[in-house]
Amino acid sequence: MLNQFIQAARLLLVDDEASNIRLLERILRRAGYSHVRGTVDSRDAEKMVEEFKPDLILLDLHMPHLDGFAVLKQLAPRVMGPGYVPVLMLTGDATPEAKRGALSLGAKDFVAKPFDASEVLLRIRNLLETRMLYSALEQDNGALQTLVRARTEDLDRSQIEIVERLAKAAEIRDDDTGRHTHRVARQAALIAEALGAGDRFVELIRRAAPLHDVGKIGIPDSILLKAGSLTPSEMDIVRSHTVIGARLLSGGHSELVKMAERIALSHHERWNGSGYPHGLRGEDIPLEARLVGLADVLDALTHRRPYRPASPLDEALAELVKERGHHFDPALVDALMDSKCYEPMLEVSVLNSQEFRLPVNGLPH
- Indicate the helix (H) or strand (E) that contains 36: strand 35-39
Sheet holding 10-14, edge to edge: 35-39, 10-14, 56-60, 87-91, 109-112
Please state, for a pLDDT cut of 70, what percent of the chain lies above it.
Answer: 79
Q: How many beta carbons lie within 10 A of that of residue 10, not counting itself? A: 16
State residue 154's pLDDT score: 62
Cβ(124)–Cβ(132) below 8 Å = no
Domains assigned to the chain? 2-142 (3.40.50.2300), 172-351 (1.10.3210.10)
Helix (H, G, I), strand (E, B), or coil: what is residue 79? helix
Angle between helices 313-322 and 287-302 (to 10 degrees): 140
The residues, ordered by sequence, that sit 6+ positions from 348 with a Cβ below 8 Å of its Cβ are none
Residue 125 has pLDDT above 60, yes or no: yes
Let me know how long the chain is.
Answer: 365
pLDDT in tens, 242-301: 999 999 888 877 888 899 999 999 999 999 999 999 999 999 999 999 999 999 999 988
Band of pLDDT at residue 353, cut at 50, 70 and 90: very low
Q: What is the pLDDT of residues 96-117, one digit of tens each?
A: 888 888 888 888 888 888 878 8
- What are the tens digits of pLDDT across the range 143-192? 667 666 766 666 666 666 776 777 777 666 655 545 788 889 999 999 99
* Residue 202 banded pLDDT, cuts 50, 70, 90: very high
Cα–Cα separations (whole angstroms), residue 231 to 173, 237, 306? 20, 10, 16
Alpha helices in the chain (DSSP H): 2-8, 18-30, 45-52, 68-74, 76-79, 96-104, 117-171, 180-195, 199-208, 221-224, 232-239, 241-249, 255-266, 287-302, 313-322, 330-339, 348-351
Q: Which helix (H) or strand (E) holds 91?
A: strand 87-91
Evaluate if residue 342 carries a pLDDT over 90: no
Handedness of CA 329, 330, 334, 337 (dihedral sign): positive
Q: How many CB atoms lie within 10 A of CB 127?
A: 21
Amino acid letter, residue 343:
E
Residue 44 near residue 59, CB atoms below 8 Å: no
pTM of the predicted structure, to 2 decimals: 0.56
Q: How many Å from the N-terminal Cα to the C-terminal Cα in the chain?
A: 72
- pLDDT of 49 higher than 80: yes
pLDDT beyond 60 at 351: no
Cβ neighbors of 51 (< 8 A, separation 6 or more) are none
Q: What pLDDT score does 93 carry?
A: 79
Would you call 88 exposed, middle or buried from its count of C-beta atoms within 10 A (0-12, 13-18, 19+)?
Answer: buried
Angle between helices 117-171 and 199-208 in degrees, nearest 10: 40
